[in-house]
Structure 1
Amino acid sequence: MIRLRLPLLLVVPLVTALSGCGFMADRLISTASGKEVIRAVGESMEPTIKKNSLVTVRTARGGYEPKVGDIVLFDAAQWGIEGSILQRVIGVPGSFVQCCDADGRQLLNGTPLEERYLPPDVRQNPFGPVTVPAGRLWIEGDNRGVSLDSRSHLDAPGGGTIAVSDVIGVVELEAPE
């Protein structure tokens, strides 16, 4: 990876052929504002974040307090992937996630999640329950049919979870008008 350092701007090109993973490209980091503008080149977060759209990410300097529903940009090296991925936080440390109840809804701590961000007619493959270890997150893409997320890495170290410390930042979505 080539890095060009400028006083207030760092440009890191990231390229991948695996668009379903949700890799980012054209990553622009402003050290002055503490925010990044990235281009979502994958489809894993559709319909919430469309392929090739630009999103603003608030960098996680000095730590990140995870919340269910956050969309995070994280370093995917622990999964053997060079680059960063966008995914939604489904489980925080100490919680347990499972799919699915009799109505096909994902469960968080035994309660069905209200996932209005999912595309219509989503079908999910059963898994779990999975307990999220301390210091880790369970993450999934909104486009569950193509997203390579925690569910795809159950056999990886961490049992599909990512380290909270691997979170680079949190997406700032504009409020609907």
Structure 2
Amino acid sequence: MGDLVIGARSGGPEPDGEPVGNHEGMHGDEGDAARRPASAEPAADADEGSEEESRPAKQRSFWKELPILIGIALILALVIKTFFVQAFSIPSGSMENTLQVGDRVLVDKLTPWFGSEPERGEVVVFKDPGGWLNDEPTQRSDNAFVRGIQDVFSFIGLMPSSDEKDLIKRVIAVGGDTVECQGTGPVKVNGIALDEPYIFPGNTPCGEKPFGPLKVPDGRVWVMGDHRGNSLDSRYHQDQPGGGTVPVGNVVGRAFVVAWPIGDWATLPVPATFDQKGLSAGSPLTPPLTGAALAVPAVWWIRRRRR
């Protein structure tokens, strides 16, 4: 009996129910899931992570960036005005017809920082050496609001100075030169007569104020307006310290272009008359002496190299 029972269990049909294979299949799936590596998680989680990583950072609002941009622009404008270029307004007719009242000129302030000094024929802006502006008109609005706006913008160089504490004239002679104008002219520099086509039509080179001959002190310049009959320039300040000349240190820079209004746009080059030979006050011996002075160290260096 016992064998039959054993036989029946070992070789007889299985009890009614689900096939063995089905149970083995279920068990096999659970085992595979247990052995499946952790990286094989549902794809949805991986997609969510990649979306968060690839999502662009939120951009800063334009209105938040605007004050920063304005601040940078103002700083750059102040730097340019201080070291490079500044706008100036023409308050009077003393430089007509080269410059008209109300013209805006751009002045090069960079080259003086490198030791460059004014040269004959240049139109320069300079600070009042003392007492000159008592005779020149100034340009300042009567409206307090307008004056305030102009003061702010002139500080950063976007508008000309509202106080107009500067003057603009043409350099006629520099330190060491002898300059004069007798009768009706012409103006002479170191004995060389100047042809001045820029003088206001109908004016004489001397205007109503002949002068000289006089020697311009070193470190100073003699300046005159192109409208000789309407310019209180060096000729009219000979009784002041410096004999009417302007210290080089007072020169702000050279005006090189008329920028506004558009209809008056023009460059301000040095007239050809200032390129004449012999105009320089230097002695005829200056070039040979300069060459000799440069030759001495050159010869010394060559000899040392040979040794």
Give the TM-score normalised by the residue count of structure 1.
0.77
Correspondent of 1:76 among 120, 128, 133: 128
Alpha-carbon RMSD across the aligned residues, in angstroms, is: 2.2
Is the alpha carbon distance of 1:79 and 1:63 closer, same or farther for their aligned partners in structure 2, counting shifts above 3 Å?
Answer: farther
Assess if the C-alpha contact under 8 Å between 1:89 and 1:140 holds in 2.
yes
**1:16 aligned residue:** none
**1:3 aligned residue:** none
**1:91 aligned residue:** 173
Which amino acid is 2:126 matched to?
F
Unaligned runs of 5+ in 1: 1-5, 11-28
Is the alpha carbon distance of 1:50 and 1:7 closer, same or farther for their aligned partners in structure 2, counting shifts above 3 Å?
Answer: same
Q: Does 1:67 align with 2:151?
A: no
Paired with 2:93 and 2:181, the residues of 1 have a C-alpha distance of 22
* The 10-residue stretch of structure 1 (134-143 or 77-86) with the greater mean CA deviation from structure 2: 77-86
State how 1:25-36 maps to structure 2 within 5 Å: 30-31=80-81, 34-36=84-86
Paired with 1:43 and 1:116, the residues of 2 have a C-alpha distance of 17
Give the TM-score normalised by the residue count of structure 2.
0.46
Query: Aligned with 1:8: secondary structure?
Result: helix
Identical-residue share of aligned pairs (%):
38
Correspondent of 1:43 among 93, 101, 104: 93
Assess if the C-alpha contact under 8 Å between 1:64 and 1:167 holds in 2.
no
**2:107 aligned residue:** 57
Assess if the C-alpha contact under 8 Å between 1:43 and 1:146 holds in 2.
yes
Which amino acid is 2:197 matched to?
R
Deviation (angstroms), 1:80 = 5.7
Q: Does 1:8 align with 2:58?
A: no
Q: Deviations over 1:27-48 (max 9, x none)?
A: xx83377001111111111100
Q: Give 1 or 2: higher strand fraction.
A: 1
Paired with 1:57 and 1:137, the residues of 2 have a C-alpha distance of 18
Paired with 1:91 and 1:137, the residues of 2 have a C-alpha distance of 6
Is the alpha carbon distance of 1:72 and 1:175 closer, same or farther for their aligned partners in structure 2, counting shifts above 3 Å?
Answer: closer
Assess if the C-alpha contact under 8 Å between 1:100 and 1:106 holds in 2.
yes
Q: Give 1 or 2: higher helix fraction.
A: 2
State how 1:143-154 maps to structure 2 within 5 Å: 143-154=227-238
Paired with 1:64 and 1:73, the residues of 2 have a C-alpha distance of 14
Assess if the C-alpha contact under 8 Å between 2:118 and 2:124 holds in 1.
no
Correspondent of 2:198 among 107, 112, 117: 117
Which amino acid is 2:234 matched to?
S
Unaligned runs of 5+ in 2: 1-73, 134-163, 258-265, 269-307
* The 10-residue stretch of structure 1 (56-65 or 146-155) with the greater mean CA deviation from structure 2: 56-65
